Structure 1
Amino acid sequence: MPVRGVRQRALLARLLLEQGRVVSVDSLVAEVWDGRPPRTARTQVSICVAALRKLFRGAGCTDEVIETVQPGYRLNIAGHRVDTVEFAREVESGYSLGQEGRLVEAAEVLKGALRLWRGPALSDVPAQFAETAAVHLSEQRLLATEQLMTIRTELGEHRAIIGELSALLHAHPLREQLRATLMRAQYRAGQRAEALRTFREGRALSIDELGLEPGALLQALHDAILNDTVPAPSADLHSVTEPVVAPSELPLNAADITGRHRELRALDDLLAQTARRRTAVCFISGSPGIGKTALAVHWGRENARHFPDGQLYVDLREAASGSPERTALTVLQRFLRSLGVHHDHMPQDLGECSAAYRSTLADRRVLVIIDNAASFSEVEPLLPGGGQCCVLVAGLERFMHSRGATDLRLGPIGHADSVALLASIIGADRITAESEAVHRLLELCARLPLAIRAAGVRLENKPHWRIVDLVDRLADPERRLETLSHGETSLRDCFDRAVRRLPPDIAATYQALSVIPGDDFDVRTASEVLHTSVSDAEDRLERLVDLNLLEAGRRMRSVGCLSYRYAHLLRLHAGQLPAEQSLEAATLRLTNRIRRNAPTARVSAR
């Protein structure tokens, strides 16, 4: 039932605040108009009351909600719900339950009371009496929040509420009760240094703003933290939540990886870091189809016993929900649910959510695998702050903000491992029978694990084919990707997904460079094709190198600069993307350049 008139809202708010007591017309006139009423104010009060009564009748109220009682009006609240009345009643009940030691019930009642709030009190009533009442109501809300936070800390929820408490204290930095509760929560979460820092910040603020030392509550808590004598929580988190099973979210390992012994040893070294109570982070990068996800998931499954508190997994490509910040918030909330945080306690702000996540993982051994990461801003909020966790981040790019993390850049697998991978799918007998064809097949697949797996699945599904039959099909560049792109092992789909997430200018560059003949090209040729400056072309080429979509090669003596080439089978993919005007224009520019430099230009068939 919207009340649109400003005076109607003010008059109704004044009656509501009296909770059923009579308000005189003179008081209404003085307060609705802030002491400056017009001569027609008493008449306007009558008009407003009549309009409000009509609104109530239209909303289905059969009784007279606003009664005329000398010397004014009163709101008949019998049989109706008034949120301020309900809030006060539930808060009082919560306080009483808390004093009786019934903390679980007290927490639920206080949470119910605070859910009645939908924003600042009386924010759409422009009158002095409303501002005064709003200050009082906001104070009651804050007191109830402080009490709830204290109870939740005693219930053992200290890890889950640190983010909420930090945000509350930022908004109300001089509230000593809030600061004490945050210090207690930080200490119990194993963040002793943070708890002492919270005290020092509060003390400095109190001296600067008020000229006073902190109160006895904060001083005593500070001494208890220094002496490690802070009492333990009086209840456990499990008393207010259902028992939580350690999450086991790693996807099914469709097939064991072959080879990668050096990389697996590097990942094994991460366990030594976690044993020293340090969070270990590893960034796994490489071109599409190189086996980043397979490596991370395989190692995670093999070492799950080292992470008894659970294994979390997210594919950021599937979880993307707009901006990197929004994606990170969505993922964090899902992780927190997996770790046992109740939806009623779930922070809605990225900073608070990240803080709650770090606090929850502070003393747990959890493996986190973040797949298909496109930017460090997506990943950073998902990194634990300490403890014994391990994080594997898989993506095209090696992030420059790795901050001491381990970096693994995957290349094609070795020949022997390639043969072993193919044999694991089609059997050793077929490998032995056509060893020469196998060698040629692996060359055409560029020893890319996904391509080899796709070829193996193709042969497995076609037992009447010889290996040489598949080699003949793959020998045609126009048919190669199509032949290797069936079902879940589709090479084209893998490449398409990688390019789809690129910025438009980089994606256009990736496509346009495919018109250059031969394997290697230099930055000057690229600038001609892209119709841009040499420096801009070099920036784009290096960006594609960072993304493992191009490879930097030898320095070309003829032009004095580095050469570049597509990684693995990506040149074929770029050349078969739907043609655009920019690509056609690039082809024309390159053709003209070749004609102008015919004596020195070497053109080889793609």
Structure 2
Amino acid sequence: MAGEFKILGPLEVWTGGEQLPLRGAGPQKVLAALLLSAGQVVPLSRLVDAVWPQDPPPTAEKRVRNLVSDLRRLLAEDVSSELVAAGAGYRLEVGEDALDSAVFDRRVRRARQLAADQEPGEAVAEFRAALGLWRGPALAGLDCPALEPQVTSWEERRTAALEEDIELELGLGRHHSVISELTEQVAAHPLRERLAGQLMLALHRAGRRAEALQVFHDIRGTLAEELGLDPGDQLQQLHQQILASDPDLEAPPPARAKRVQQLPRDVPDFTGRATELSRLVSALPDEGETGTAVVIRSIDGMAGIGKTALAVHTAHQLVDRYPDAQLFIDLKAHTADDEPTTVAAALDALLRALGVPGERIPDDPDQRAGLWRDELAGLKAVIVLDNAASAEQVRPLLPGSPKTLVLITSRRQLTDLEAAFTLSLEVLPPADAAALFTRIAGDARAASEPEAVHEVVRLCGLLPLAVRIAAARLRTRPTWTLAHLAERLGDQRRRLGELSTGDRSVAVAFALSYRHLAPAQQRLFRLLSVHPSTDFDAGVAAKIADIPLQEAEQILENLLDMHLLQQRAVDRYRFHDLLRTYAAHLTREEDSEADRSEALRRVLNHYLASARNVYRLERSGCTLADALAATDSEGLAFADLAEGHTWVLDELDGIVGIIRKVAADPRLPIAVAADLLVALDPVGDLAFLWPRLNGPAAEVADAARARGELPAEARARYMLGGGLWQVDRFDDGEAQIHRGIQVAHEGGETAILDRLLNVSALLAHARGHDEEALGIFQESLAASESSGNWSAHLEVLNNIGSLYRTGIERPEEALPWYERALALVDRVGGQPYAWQALTINCGRVKLALGRPDEAIEDFRTVLSASRALAFPFQEAAALQELMNAAWRLGRLQEALDHGEASVAIWRQLGQETRQAQVQTSQEAIRAELEGPRPAPKVRLP
């Protein structure tokens, strides 16, 4: 095997790709002495001096011979070297390319020849390749006085080569790129006038005149102090030229490379992205404006979003502005059957694209990066770095010229890329997606079915790649209609298969992102598709994968950075429709049915535990919360009811979806789904969720009946019957409640019985059967008192009061029932919703009894509290009652204002009946404003 010997830095010997051990100072000193005189005989006496600088032992020569024998054995397999005895010493023969100092000498000679031949650029490349062989001071760390003269000679050669190289670079106008290196060298060699002069010139050309003069001042002082000398004539002349701003010191113009055009062709049917293009271009410096840093634009987004198309289109639009070079390289972060392009390979390709010969390109990546920056210096160039894996991959490829524009595309958000303007692409707007589809499929076919066009692009998720594929398939199938294509895409299980044609495939594009995920990231990505909503938080994700919350948050952020998830609000994550379809396909292939069911069960328990915590905040003291199913999750803890209310609304799609999944899957616990519905009861009132909850409640009730789970059916019937009552479907609601009462008795379900009876009484009242309602309320009151459910007891007291107030129409008898209920509020924990409802009802009674001022005070109290707690239902009710009170007092404009505010909220809540009540009152109020005011009358809802 061929070996490598390195003395330009710490002594090292390599063979077969492995570094050989040189144990002890003796072998290292002998080998160093042989390598410093490679190919020449080194007398035994010199080797003895190398090992023992003073007082060698009597056996020194024998011990050196033993050390040489050890070295022979160490190098036995190295075919590039031979250690032989010669005369009174030894000679180490080393192959031409095996010793770094020999390679250095050869490259320096070649660099000097190129300089003599007026090839300064090539000479610089050779000098830099030679200097790049140095890893530190020659034989660093080896204390050997006998070898110091030779080591010093090599250090001098290194410095001389550096000075020659910098002289050439200054001649090429590269003063900016050498200042840092020169500063270090002048500090290391404070007496070398040539280095100091080069630094002075570079600083002067860079516009840093004061610093250049300071360099002269420093070396003049050092020379005087150390040697008692003044600077030489050449350095003093340079000093005077800088003082006089001599134009002869100006940098030569940089050599211009021939124009290079390597951009892929622009997309002929490029559509939309006008805003994004404007954002990319608008921040560019004005023509003729001189900046100080390279201009970087980073474009990221999910697979198929059109990043490359936008970058290439932008580059083509800017050719006139960057005329010297237009370069493109695929860094292959997400390319089938390819690993990401290494930095060294990318630099090699870019340098060759600029016309740099292969023999000029250094092996060392750092030197390549330096040559790349040098070649681009002063050029107006646009460079597209496509499909980047990371900022680490991109950073060495960035030029240093402020005249250069770099466009980077990546599926990751390159947030750690310094000084980059970042543009994260979203899907196309529907109109642009339809326009793109039309341009590819053909105007005639699209015009014949315009509605189907919008349905197709919707099913494509507005993703440009998917839209292109769908349009291309339609174009090549003349017998297909757009409606037929939409039907095929509408089948979610086969949708990804439909979005594939030729070498383009949405699934393959997604797979290239998926394969770069860690196993834990892949698992969560798959299982998230089990969740019935596209929108979720980290708590749900943690339960789906059964991992700690912090780990789930980290993975979600990673998936977000890779554009495998989206974010529409802080701490809320969601899938793109096609990515969710892809994840669902993966989980069916890679996760068992049991795994998916268990994931759903964990989320169901999480939802129930969290919703139970919200229930307790609103209905503190209600024993029904304790009767709900036990869970293996504590659920989320909420600071107050408003926070819990917000959580329910955020998760409502997922909650409703999982309830329906449980109803459809006999393997999942229907009792937990029924209890989750019950736990939503308070928020159902607060935010009027009944139109959303009635459908799932019906499905759970029927599923529980089919499975013979009577307690679960009773609870679901309660929610369904109450919800139907809330939307004024009294007959349907009554049928559900009667069935619920029946199965509650049959199944021994006592926890929900008082609630069922309460709703039954409300329905009887709604149908005008007030005496019947009063009797049922009394049954409910007895049931809640028997069970100790004082929260339910309070509600029934309120309802009996309302029955006297609006049904039996004896308001004077209503007030004691309300007051009894208010007395219970503190006992059950101060329920804010119940307290507000009772206070409004007290105000209504006072208004009916001719005490409007007291009533208005009650209504305003509730209005303030409901706004503070974000209870829109009670806010609208309070505004409606303030309208009635102002009307009664003849303050008609004030009444109209309250009515307008109330109508807006009832409309938002979908409360058509209450909205109509207010609007009817408003019509009467306006009539009074326009004509004679009739005698005041009490008008109650």
User: Does TM-score exceed 0.5, indicating one fold?
Assistant: yes
1:331 aligns with 2:371: no
Structure 2 residue aligned with 1:140? 157
Are 2:588 and 1:573 aligned?
Answer: no
- Provide the alpha-carbon RMSD of the alignment: 5.3
Equivalent residue, structure 1, for 2:544:
529
Change (3 A) 1:594 1:207: farther
Counterpart position of 1:256: 269
Q: Compare the two structures and name the one with the higher helix fraction.
A: 2
Quote the residue 1:496 is aligned against: 511
Once residues 197 and 584 of structure 1 are traced to their aligned partners in structure 2, the CA distance between those partners, rounded to angstroms, is: 73
Aligned partner of 1:246 in structure 2 is 259
Quote the Cα distance in structure 1 between the aligned partners of 2:174 and 2:85.
Answer: 47
Amino acid at match of 2:58: R
Matched residue of 1:293: which SS? Answer: helix
Q: Per-residue displacement from partner, 1:540-591 (whole Å, max 9, x unpaired)? A: 444544544333346xxxxxx8643212411111222255569964651322
Q: 1:311 aligns to what SS in structure 2?
A: strand
Alignment partner for residue 590 of structure 1, among 572, 575, 600? 600
Q: Does 1:276 align with 2:289?
A: yes
When normalised by structure 1's length, the TM-score is: 0.75
CA distance in 1, matches of 2:210, 2:355: 28
Hey, what does 2:56 align to over in structure 1?
A: 37
Task: Quote the Cα distance in structure 2 between the aligned partners of 1:33 and 1:127.
Answer: 9
| Displacement after TM superposition at 1:294 (Å) | 0.6
On the 8 A contact 1:107/1:152 being kept in 2, the answer is no
Paired residues of 1:247 and 1:309 also in contact (CA < 8 A): yes
**1:452 shift after superposition:** 0.5
Q: What amino acid does structure 2 have at the position aligned with 1:389? A: T
Aligned equivalents of 2:107 and 2:466: distance in 1?
A: 64
What's 1:162 paired with? 178
2:198 aligned partner, one-letter code = T
Q: Contact conserved, 1:375 with 1:399, CA < 8 A, in 2?
A: yes
Q: 1:457 to 1:172 in 2, by over 3 A?
A: farther
Note closer, same or farther for the CA distance 1:128–1:74 as it changes in structure 2 (3 Å cut): same
Counterpart in 1 of 2:280? 267
Equivalent in 472, 475, 493 of residue 460 of structure 1: 475
Aligned to 2:932: none
Q: Structure 2: how far apart are the matches of 1:362 and 1:228?
A: 24
Within the candidate set 435, 449, 452, 2:464 is matched to 449
Taking structure 1 as reference, are residues 228 and 412 closer, same or farther at Cα in structure 2, changes over 3 Å only? farther
Superposed displacement of residue 445, structure 1: 0.8
- In 2, the alpha carbon distance for the partners of 1:256 and 1:280 equals 28
Kept in 2: contact 1:183–1:199 (CA 8 A): yes
Counterpart position of 1:603: 657
C-alpha contact (below 8 Å) 1:313/1:369 kept by paired residues: yes
CA contact (8 A) 1:425 1:456 kept: yes
Q: Is the 8 A contact 1:158 1:186 kept in 2?
A: no
Deviation at 1:426, TM superposition (A): 1.9
Once residues 398 and 164 of structure 1 are traced to their aligned partners in structure 2, the CA distance between those partners, rounded to angstroms, is 32
SS in 1 for 2:487: helix
Residues 52, 476 of structure 1: CA spacing in aligned structure 2 closer, same or farther, 3 A cutoff?
Answer: closer
Q: Deviations over 1:253-304 (max 9, x none)?
A: 3543112222223333245445422343323233321211111101212321
Q: How far does the alpha carbon of each residue in 1:351-404 deviate from its partner, in whole angstroms, 9 at most, with x for none?
A: 665555445444221112222334334444444444222222223355445766
What secondary structure is seen at the aligned counterpart in 2 of 1:391? Answer: strand
User: 507-516 or 106-115, which moves further after superposition?
Assistant: 106-115
Aligned ranges 1:91-102 → 2 under 5 Å: none
* Cα distance in 1 between the residues matched to 2:607 and 2:128: 79
Aligned to 2:573: 564
For 1:557, the equivalent position in structure 2 comes to none
Q: Aligned-pair distance for 1:311?
A: 1.4
Q: Which amino acid aligns with 1:277?
A: T
Q: What are the Cα deviations for residues 15-72 of structure 1, in whole angstroms up to 9, with x where unaligned? A: 88789999776566545543433334455677889999999999999xx98654xxx5
Closer, same or farther: CA 376–465 of 1 in aligned 2, 3 Å: same
Residues 232-256 of structure 1, C-alpha deviations (whole Å, 9 max, x = no match): 679x987xxxx95333222233543
Asked if structure 2 preserves the Cα contact closer than 8 Å seen for 1:545 and 1:552, the reply is yes
Identity of aligned residues (%): 30
* Deviates most, 459-468 or 177-186: 177-186
Checking the alignment, whether the CA contact within 8 Å between 1:34 and 1:128 is kept in structure 2 is: yes
Distance 1:544 1:144, change over 3 A: closer
Q: 1:548 to 1:356 in 2, by over 3 A?
A: same
Q: Quick check: 2:540–2:606 contact (8 Å CA) kept in 1? A: no
Question: Structure 2 counterpart of 1:500, which letter?
Answer: R
CA distance in 2 between counterparts of 1:582 and 1:223 reads 83
Residue 369 (structure 1) aligns with: 384
Q: Structure 1 stretch 41-50 or stretch 378-387: which is displaced more?
A: 41-50
Selected match of 2:529 from 514, 521, 535 = 514
Report the secondary structure of 1:368's partner residue: strand
Q: 1:474: Cα distance to partner?
A: 0.9
| 1:344-383 matches, cutoff 5 A | 346=361, 354=369, 356-383=371-398
Q: Is the 8 A contact 1:310 1:366 kept in 2?
A: yes
**Is the contact between residue 489 and residue 498 of structure 2 (CA under 8 Å) also seen in structure 1?**
yes
CA gap of 1:515–1:246, structure 2 versus 1, over 3 A, is: same
Instruction: Give, in whole Å, the separation in 2 of the partners of 1:478 and 1:214.
Output: 86
SS in 1 for 2:541: helix
Structure 1 residues 511 and 367 mapped into 2: Cα distance closer, same or farther (>3 Å)? same
User: In the TM superposition, what whole-angstrom CA distance separates every residue of 1:197-255 from its partner, at most 9, and x where no partner exists?
Assistant: 57757966997999679945566546645615344679x987xxxx9533322223354
Quote the offset at 1:477 in angstroms. Answer: 0.7
SS in 2 for 1:304: coil
Q: Does 1:428 align with 2:443?
A: yes
User: Which structure would you say has the larger RCO, counting Cα contacts within 8 Å and 6 or more residues apart?
Assistant: 1
CA contact (8 A) 1:246 1:308 kept: yes
C-alpha deviation, 1:458, in angstroms: 1.4
| Distance (whole Å) between structure 1 residues aligned to residue 91 and residue 417 of structure 2 | 63
Q: 1:229 aligns with which of 233, 247, 254?
A: 247
Amino acid at match of 1:251: P
Give the Cα–Cα distance (whole angstroms) in 2 for the partners of residues 582 and 208 of structure 1. Answer: 78
C-alpha displacement at 1:127, in angstroms?
4.4
CA distance in 1 between partners of 2:165 and 2:527 (Å): 60
Instruction: Report the alpha carbon displacement of residue 527 of structure 1 after superposing the two structures with TM.
Output: 2.6
Q: Is the 8 A contact 1:280 1:389 kept in 2?
A: yes
**1:288 counterpart residue number:** 303
**CA pair 269-50 structure 1, distance change in 2 beyond 3 A:** closer
- Return 424-433 or 170-179, whichever deviates more: 170-179
- Match for 1:313 among 305, 320, 328? 328
Q: C-alpha distance in 2, partners of 1:161/1:583?
A: 62
Residue ranges of structure 2 left out of the alignment (5+ in a row): 4-12, 14-21, 609-627, 629-651, 662-941
Give the SS at the match of 1:473.
Answer: helix
Residues 49 and 66, structure 1, Cα contact 8 Å, conserved in 2: no
CA 1:265–1:504: 2 relative to 1, 3 Å: same
